C-alpha cells in the first residue's frame, strides 16, 4: 500500500473531535467512521454473539442490530432525535494528562464541554447529523476556565486556547463511509461495508464501543510552527464506550435514546502548550453522556464561560453544510500565529 494511502485526513476536532464524537468532542466524523476499529465481529443467529457475551435483546423486536439499517437507526437515536427539528445535548467532563517515557503520568488540567445535535433527512436514506461543540480547559484546583496556564512540564506560562467546532457535520448511513481517495492517490475503492457496530448485552444494558485510530499530515508543520507542532504527522486515537438500556433501544416510540459512557483520547501535545517535538503525548480521560439540562452535569464556571464566549453553541445548526469539517489543528492554524522561538 502506498504510504499516502495510510494517512487518513481528519473530518473532525481534535475531540471529539472526532465525536461520537467528542466526539467525539464526541462524535465520530466520516474519516473516523471509515477508519474505526470495531473489535469482535457479531454473527447472525437467534441471538447476536460476540466474544463478550450474548444478547437476545439485540435482535429485536424493533431493531435488528446485526443489520446496517438497524445500526443506522440505533446510532442516529443515540446521536440525536429522529423527530427531525428537535435538538439534543451531549456532554463530557474529565482530565487531560501528560504521558512521557519512563516518567509518572501528570494531571495537567480539566477538560469539560458539550455539543448540540440536530438530525435531518438526507439523500438516499441517509440521515444528516448537524452539530456544534466546544471543549474548555479548567484549573485542576479551582475548576475555573483557564485564560492562562502554567505548564508543569516546562514551568512556562502560556495562553490557553479552547476548542470550538462549528459545524461538525456528517451523514449517518446504513454503510460505513467510503474511504478517502487521498487526492486521487487511491485509485481503487473497495466495496462499502454495512454499518454494523459491536454491540453486546449484559442484563438490561447494551454496550457498544468504538475505537478510532488516525494518522494524518498535521496542519501545524514544524518549519512554520516550531513550538506548537508535535511533528509532521498527527497520530490520534479516540475510544468511545456507550451504555444504553436495551429496553430503550427496542422501544419504537422513542425517537432518541439517552446513554452514559466514557471518552478517552490519545493526541499529540496541545499546540498552545508549546512543547514542540518533545517526546510524549496527551491523554484525555472523560465521562460522557446525554442530558436535557446541562446544569445537571457541567459546573457553573464552565457554563458561564460558554454563555459569554460561545452563546450560539447552545443551539444546533438548522442548515446542512457539505463543507468538510475542520480539525482543531486546522482551526488553530487558521486562527492563531506561531509563538516566537525562545532564545537559546
Confidence of residue 50 (pLDDT cuts 50, 70, 90): very low
Is residue 275 situated within a structural domain? yes
Helix H or strand E encompassing 330 = helix 328-335
Q: How far apart are CA 321 and CA 258, in angstroms?
A: 26
**Number of domains comprising the chain:** 1
* In the predicted structure, residue 167 carries a pLDDT above the cut 90: no
At 77-134, the pLDDT tens digits run 999 999 999 999 999 999 999 999 999 999 999 999 999 999 999 999 999 999 999 9
The pLDDT of residue 24: 40
Residue 340 within a domain: no
242-280 pLDDT tens trace: 999 999 999 999 999 999 999 999 999 999 999 999 999
- Look at residue 321 in the predicted model and tell me its pLDDT: 87
Specify if 342 maps to a domain: no
Residue 156 lies in a domain: yes
Neighbours of 131 (CB within 10 A): 34
pLDDT in tens, 72-82: 999 999 999 99
Residue 175, domain extent: 3-335
Report the largest interatomic distance among the alpha carbons of the chain, rounded to a whole angstrom.
68
DSSP E strands, the chain: 36-37, 48-50, 53-55, 87-99, 106-121, 127-138, 148-150, 157-159, 163-165, 170-172, 199-202, 205-217, 233-245, 260-267, 281-291
How confident is the model at residue 144, as a pLDDT?
98
Alpha carbons 178 and 167: distance in angstroms, whole number: 21
Domain assignment present for 268: yes
In a domain, 331, yes or no: yes
Q: What φ, ψ does residue 124 adopt, rounded to 5°? A: 55, 40
Domain membership flag for residue 205? yes
Residue 343, in any domain of the structure: no
Out of 11-15, 45-49, 241-245, give the one with best mean pLDDT: 241-245
Element (H, E) at 16: none
> Once rounded to an integer, what is the mean pLDDT over residues 178-190?
60
Work out the mean pLDDT of the chain and round it to a whole number: 85
Give 144-189 as a DSSP string.
PBPSEEE-TTT--EEE---EEES---EEE-SBPPPPP-TTTT----
Per-range mean pLDDT, top range of 22-26, 43-47, 195-199, 320-324: 195-199
Considering just the CA atoms, what is the radius of gyration of the chain in Å?
20
Task: State the CB neighbour count (10 A cutoff) for residue 320.
Answer: 16
Amino acid at each position: 500500500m502506498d504510504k499516502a494511502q495510510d494517512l487518513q485526513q481528519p473530518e473532525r476536532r481534535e475531540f471529539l473531535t472526532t465525536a461520537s464524537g467528542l466526539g467525539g468532542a464526541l462524535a465520530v466524523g466520516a474519516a473516523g467512521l471509515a477508519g474505526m476499529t470495531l473489535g469482535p465481529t457479531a454473527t447472525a443467529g437467534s441471538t447476536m454473539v460476540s466474544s463478550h457475551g450474548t444478547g437476545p435483546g439485540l435482535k429485536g423486536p424493533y431493531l435488528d442490530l446485526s443489520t446496517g439499517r438497524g445500526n443506522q437507526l440505533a446510532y442516529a437515536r443515540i446521536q440525536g432525535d429522529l423527530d427531525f427539528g428537535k435538538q439534543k445535548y451531549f456532554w463530557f467532563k474529565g482530565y487531560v494528562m501528560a504521558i512521557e517515557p519512563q516518567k509518572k503520568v501528570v494531571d495537567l488540567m480539566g477538560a469539560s464541554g458539550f455539543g448540540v445535535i440536530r438530525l435531518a433527512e438526507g439523500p438516499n436514506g441517509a440521515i444528516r447529523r448537524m452539530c456544534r461543540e466546544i471543549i474548555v480547559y479548567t484549573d485542576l484546583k479551582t475548576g475555573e476556565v483557564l485564560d492562562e496556564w502554567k505548564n508543569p512540564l516546562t514551568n512556562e506560562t502560556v495562553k490557553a486556547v479552547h476548542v470550538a467546532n462549528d459545524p461538525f457535520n456528517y451523514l449517518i448511513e446504513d454503510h460505513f463511509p467510503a474511504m478517502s481517495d487521498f487526492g486521487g492517490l487511491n485509485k481503487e475503492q473497495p466495496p462499502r461495508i454495512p454499518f454494523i457496530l459491536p454491540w453486546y448485552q449484559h442484563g438490561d444494558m447494551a454496550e457498544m464501543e468504538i475505537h478510532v485510530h488516525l494518522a494524518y499530515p498535521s496542519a501545524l508543520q514544524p518549519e512554520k510552527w516550531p513550538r506548537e507542532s508535535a511533528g509532521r504527522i498527527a497520530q490520534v486515537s479516540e475510544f468511545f464506550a456507550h451504555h444504553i438500556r436495551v429496553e430503550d433501544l427496542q422501544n419504537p416510540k422513542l425517537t432518541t435514546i439517552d446513554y452514559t459512557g466514557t471518552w478517552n483520547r490519545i493526541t499529540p501535545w496541545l499546540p498552545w502548550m508549546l512543547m514542540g517535538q518533545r517526546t510524549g503525548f496527551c491523554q484525555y480521560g472523560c465521562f460522557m453522556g446525554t442530558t436535557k439540562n446541562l446544569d445537571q452535569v457541567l459546573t457553573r464556571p464552565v457554563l458561564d464561560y460558554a454563555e459569554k464566549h460561545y452563546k450560539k453553541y447552545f443551539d444546533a445548526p438548522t442548515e446542512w453544510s457539505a463543507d468538510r469539517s475542520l480539525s482543531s489543528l486546522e482551526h488553530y492554524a487558521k486562527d492563531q500565529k506561531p509563538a516566537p522561538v525562545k532564545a537559546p
